[in-house]
Structure 1
């Protein structure tokens, strides 16, 4: 249903599954395993897997914290988009990468739920993409010290509100990993 012309394809967008982002993430090992399963399925089905990697003063490029977690391996042919803002589209070549692959629909996984995942989902929708969140394949750290809800509540709320997101000619949505259909 995307509003982008000649963009019938779907891509799996793997956002910020980096050591310094997810090591203290809620249910980290289960989420990483779920993401790994989706990456494997996407590869098997010929669906592009696009990796996004954040860098800033805390995630210094080349550091151990900056690296993608060891359980997930990016294949050389899979695009890597480097970013320094929450929205994976902002000041990156993500749009170009997706356009080259005819992608108009994104299946989004990764971290952090209440930062880069939310920003990227909204960024995709306003740019004309359909954007599906995989409800059991994103995580966040505990930010209760700063007044945020417990991580599981942040995740549940994001899953709930994104399930009903839509805009003219495009849609959001939340599904669990077992329900992901890359074909549409």
Structure 2
């Protein structure tokens, strides 16, 4: 249902599952296992897998904390998008990569729920994409010391509100890992 013409395909997006980003993240191991399940399914169905890697003053490019977690393995032909902003589309080649592959719908996983994941979801909808958030394949760290709700509540709230996101001709939705399909349906 994307508003992007001639874009029937779906891609799996893996956002910032880097050592320093998820070191103390909520349900880290389960989230990574779910992403691995989705990667296997996407590769088996010849669905593009696109990796996103953030850098900033606290996450220095090339540092150990900047590296992807060792439990996830990117294959060489799979694109790696380097970003400096929360929205994975902002000032990156992500849109061009998706256009080359005829992608109008993205399936979103990764970290951090309340930062880069949310920014990317909203960026996708604003740019004409349909965007599915995988409810058990994104996470965040505990930021309660700064006034944020506990991580489980941040994740639950994001899952709740994203399921109801719509814009003219496009929509957001959610699915658990076991329910994810890379084939677009009338509902997505």
- TM-score in same-fold range (> 0.5): yes
Is the partner of 1:123 in helix, strand or coil? helix
Q: Deviations over 1:132-184 (max 9, x none)?
A: 00000000000000000000000000000000101000010011011100011
CA distance in 2, matches of 1:140, 1:122: 17
CA distance in 2, matches of 1:167, 1:121: 12
**Structure 1 residue 23, shift from structure 2 partner:** 1.1
Is the partner of 1:134 in helix, strand or coil? strand
TM-score by length of 2: 0.97
Other-structure match for 1:48? 48
Q: Deviations over 1:11-33 (max 9, x none)?
A: 00000000000111000000000
Q: Provide the alpha-carbon RMSD of the alignment.
A: 0.4
Q: How does 1:27-106 map to 2 (within 5 A)?
A: 27-106=27-106
TM-score by length of 1: 0.99
1:179 correspondence with 2:179? yes
Consecutive unaligned residues of structure 1, counting only runs of 5 or more, are none
Other-structure match for 1:127? 127
1:164 correspondence with 2:164? yes
CA distance in 2, matches of 1:136, 1:166: 21
**Structure 1 residue 66, shift from structure 2 partner:** 0.4
Consecutive unaligned residues of structure 2, counting only runs of 5 or more, are none
Structure 1 runs (4+) deviating above 3 angstroms are: none
Other-structure match for 2:118? 118
